[in-house]
Every structure is written in structure tokens, then in C-alpha cells.
């Protein structure tokens, strides 16, 4: 008789189903895997530190006499406002709490972070004007920037999260240059 009939072709309904590979979910805590405790400490410390610098810069807009001080303050605010947003985004991605806005106020002792002003220092700065403000602002901002540079150096040596280490490097460079500039305005350089 001839050949046997070929087997029927499988249809979508009769074709054996291959299991689809499921997308792998990152293990719990994977978002944190890219960072370590030093990164978290740096970011949690730098947010209130930057907020206080912005608060100081805002005072300079209306209280400073020197155009150079006003210009410097505007540059500080322009640099640090976006960094605060970036730092806050990292904490959120890591499942960490963003420090509350009032953590920048000196009222929480002010000295828990390197270079932070006390509430009393911030009050005195807010009451000053003219040349007295300029001198106080520059003296306090030098101290403030030195604290930020120290925090950034710790991040570079102990941190793991590359974007935070890169930001730390940028902070060291820009704030060291601003310290030199402020010391010149104070007649110290």
C-alpha cells in the first residue's frame, strides 16, 4: 500500500508548552548591594549639610554687602540644590529614610556633622548685615566647606557606591576651590 500517513502537525492547542523563563527578581536587598554603610552615612550626612549651606546662601542674597559674597552664595546654592535631590533619590532607592528638612537647622545641636553650624551661629548670621555679615558668612562657610570636604574624603576612602564616590570627588574639588576663594575674600590668601 504505500507509505503510512505522516503524523498530524501539532497545533497551538496540542503543542507541548515550554515553560517561559521568568524574569529573575533581584534578591532582597539587591538595591543595597551597590552601596555600603559608609555610602549611606555620607548621603544621610550630606543632605542636611547641603541644606544648611543653601540656607546660609539664601541669607546672603539679602544680607550681604559684597557683590562677590552674593555671587559666591548664589553659586553654592546652584550647585548644592540639585545634589540634595540626587542624594535624596539614592536614599529612596536604597530603602532609607531621607533626613527631614529640619535636620539642616542648627537646633539639633549642629555639631553631629563636620562643619555644621549651631543654631546660635545660624541665628547670629541671620541677624548680621553688611560687612559684618560678609565676614561671618565667609568664616562660617569656610568651616562648613572644610567639614564637607572631610566627609567627602571619608566617602572616597570607605564608600562602595561609585556615583557617591564620584560626587564626593566633585565636592572635594569644588569646595576646596571655594575655600581658597573665600579665604582670599577674607584677606587670608
What is the set of domains in the chain, with CATH numbers? 33-92+115-185 (1.20.1260.10)
Whole-model pTM: value is 0.79
Q: What does the DSSP assignment read for 1-56? A: --PPPPPPPP-TTTSPPPPPPPPPPPPTTHHHHT--HHHHHHHHHHHHHHHHHHHH
**Helix 37-63 / helix 119-127 crossing angle, nearest 10 deg:** 20
Per-residue pLDDT tens digits for 28-43: 444 445 899 999 999 9
Per-residue pLDDT tens digits for 134-149: 999 999 999 999 999 9
Task: Return per-residue pLDDT of the chain as tens, 189 residues.
Answer: 567 666 666 665 555 555 544 444 444 444 445 899 999 999 999 999 999 999 999 999 999 999 999 999 999 999 999 999 999 999 999 999 999 987 655 444 444 568 999 999 999 999 999 999 999 999 999 999 999 999 999 999 999 999 999 999 999 999 999 999 999 999 997
CA atoms within 13 A on the CB side of 40: 14
CA distances from 73 to 88, 153, 158 (A): 22, 23, 30
Amino acid at each position: 500500500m504505500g507509505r503510512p500517513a505522516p503524523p498530524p502537525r501539532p497545533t497551538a492547542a496540542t503543542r507541548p508548552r515550554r515553560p517561559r523563563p521568568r524574569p529573575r527578581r533581584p534578591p532582597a536587598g539587591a538595591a543595597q548591594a551597590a552601596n555600603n554603610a559608609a555610602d549611606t552615612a555620607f548621603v544621610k550626612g550630606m543632605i542636611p549639610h547641603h541644606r544648611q549651606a543653601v540656607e546660609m546662601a539664601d541669607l546672603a542674597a539679602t544680607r550681604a554687602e559684597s557683590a562677590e559674597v552674593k555671587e559666591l552664595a548664589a553659586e553654592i546654592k546652584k550647585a548644592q540644590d540639585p545634589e540634595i535631590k540626587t542624594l535624596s533619590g539614592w536614599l529612596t532607592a536604597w530603602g532609607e529614610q531621607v533626613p527631614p528638612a529640619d535636620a539642616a537647622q542648627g537646633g539639633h545641636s549642629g555639631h553631629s556633622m563636620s562643619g555644621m553650624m549651631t543654631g546660635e551661629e545660624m541665628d547670629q548670621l541671620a541677624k548680621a548685615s553688611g560687612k559684618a555679615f560678609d565676614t561671618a558668612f565667609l568664616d562660617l562657610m569656610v568651616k562648613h566647606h572644610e567639614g564637607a570636604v572631610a566627609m567627602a574624603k571619608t566617602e572616597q576612602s570607605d564608600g562602595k557606591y561609585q556615583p557617591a564616590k564620584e560626587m564626593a570627588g566633585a565636592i572635594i574639588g569644588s569646595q576646596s576651590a571655594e575655600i581658597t576663594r573665600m579665604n582670599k575674600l577674607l584677606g587670608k590668601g
